[in-house]
């Protein structure tokens, strides 16, 4: 890995890395964090490169009394190779050269893996309490959180989309819902508007109708069973990204929630073919939208009143209570998925890839 000073051309890749490493929070705009750092000791903002691509980062500073480290990140496929240790070693050398006597950092108490990493580097816990006071709010993100939700939903004639739609129509935080379907959904509600459009590979004719929405709950998807790899790539990656690009052009700050799948492979290198395709789709969407959340819900229980249920679901629905009790990390309800989507659209989420336990926890809030 080559280590060098951050350059302006690195911004998109660095922000994408931070999102993939779950370092971004709704109250901190990563783009603004970068711009602020470039005005204060920019030489202490480093990136790690492999084959010309950004795979790691660290942001450090020295206030004359203590050194600080933020945004230490290593892309998941390159972890456990000593790259984080190498970045920290370089930072320590630079701070020591500035006369910095001690280096501090803030780590969430629940993040056991990161705490163990720093302990291996010789860091110990100080007997102190961390306090904070926001002096300059990131207005764009805070304002975004306070909006009523106006969402676009795809796939509402399928099981997942229908469950999400029912919850949105019932939720007080959701002001307006636009569904885009290939065929009429047969539902009527004061909040609801429906557009019938046959070609999801080309949403450009709908652009005037898509403006003004601050969320998209993308629930459109198919099973890979019986499909060639090329066709599954086309109807999963290509279709989703075609829709995403249109929406990002019209509503660049919207929250985009994508229903993917448990065991999706973020590295795009391992696991089944469908998991790699889903991983590629997730990664592309997180590059496209600042506020993108990938939902990996596992096995889902339908909402009472749903009509669009597959035969296999009706045959195996009895398994859910037992599965939820024995394997809580693999089972959730569609109501929980929808409520978690509404939560991240209104207030942001703790991470950009949400597994079953994350979805269930967000749904409670």
Domains of the chain, first to last: 2-120 (3.40.630.30), 147-364 (3.40.50.720)
Question: Which of residues 110 and 158 earns the better pLDDT score?
Answer: 158
Are 346 and 293 in contact, with CB atoms under 8 Å apart? no
Q: In the beta sheet, which residues pair with residue 117?
A: none
Structure tokens belonging to residue 334: 């569609």
- Would you state the pLDDT for residue 219? 96
- pLDDT above 60 for 285: yes
Whole-prediction pTM value? 0.61
In this structure, what token pair is assigned to residue 345?
A: 């659209």
pLDDT at 138 over 90: no
- Confidence band, pLDDT 50/70/90 cuts, at residue 271: confident
Summarize pLDDT for 197-209 with one digit per residue, the tens: 999 999 999 998 9
Please report the pLDDT score of residue 54 as a whole number.
93
For residues 127 and 190, what is the distance between their CA atoms, to the nearest angstrom?
A: 56
């Amino acid at each position: 890995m080559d280590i060098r000073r951050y350059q302006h051309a690195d911004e998109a890749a660095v922000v994408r890395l931070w999102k993939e490493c779950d370092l971004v929070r709704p109250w901190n705009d990563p783009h603004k964090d970068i711009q602020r750092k470039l005005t204060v000791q920019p030489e202490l903002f480093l990136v790690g490169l492999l084959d010309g691509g950004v795979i790691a980062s660290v942001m450090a500073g020295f206030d004359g009394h203590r050194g600080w480290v933020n945004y230490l990140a290593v892309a998941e496929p390159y972890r456990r190779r000593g790259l984080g240790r190498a970045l920290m070693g370089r930072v320590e050398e630079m701070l020591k050269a500035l006369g910095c006597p001690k280096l501090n950092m803030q780590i969430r108490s629940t993040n056991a893996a990161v705490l163990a990493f720093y302990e291996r580097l010789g860091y110990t816990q100080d007997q102190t309490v961390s306090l904070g006071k926001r002096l300059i709010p990131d207005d764009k993100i805070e304002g975004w959180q306070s909006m009523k939700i106006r969402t676009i939903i795809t796939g509402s004639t399928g099981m997942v989309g229908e469950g999400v739609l029912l919850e949105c129509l019932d939720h007080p935080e959701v002001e307006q819902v636009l569904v885009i379907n290939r065929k009429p959904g047969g539902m009527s509600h004061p909040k609801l508007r429906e557009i019938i459009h046959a070609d999801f590979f080309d949403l450009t004719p709908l652009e005037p109708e898509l403006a003004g929405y601050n969320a998209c709950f993308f629930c459109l998807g198919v099973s890979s069973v019986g499909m060639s790899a090329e066709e599954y790539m086309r109807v999963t990656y290509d279709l989703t990204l075609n829709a995403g690009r249109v929406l990002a052009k019209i509503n660049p700050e919207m929250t985009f929630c994508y229903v993917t799948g448990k065991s999706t492979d973020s590295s795009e290198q391992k696991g089944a073919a469908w998991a790699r395709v889903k991983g590629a789709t997730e990664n592309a969407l997180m590059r496209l939208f600042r506020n993108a959340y990938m939902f990996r819900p596992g096995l889902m229980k339908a909402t009472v009143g749903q009509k669009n249920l597959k035969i296999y679901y009706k045959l195996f629905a009895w398994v859910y209570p037992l599965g939820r009790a024995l394997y809580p990390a693999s089972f959730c309800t569609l109501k929980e998925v929808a409520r978690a989507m509404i939560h991240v659209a209104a207030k942001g989420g703790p991470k950009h890839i949400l597994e079953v336990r994350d979805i269930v926890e967000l749904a409670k809030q």
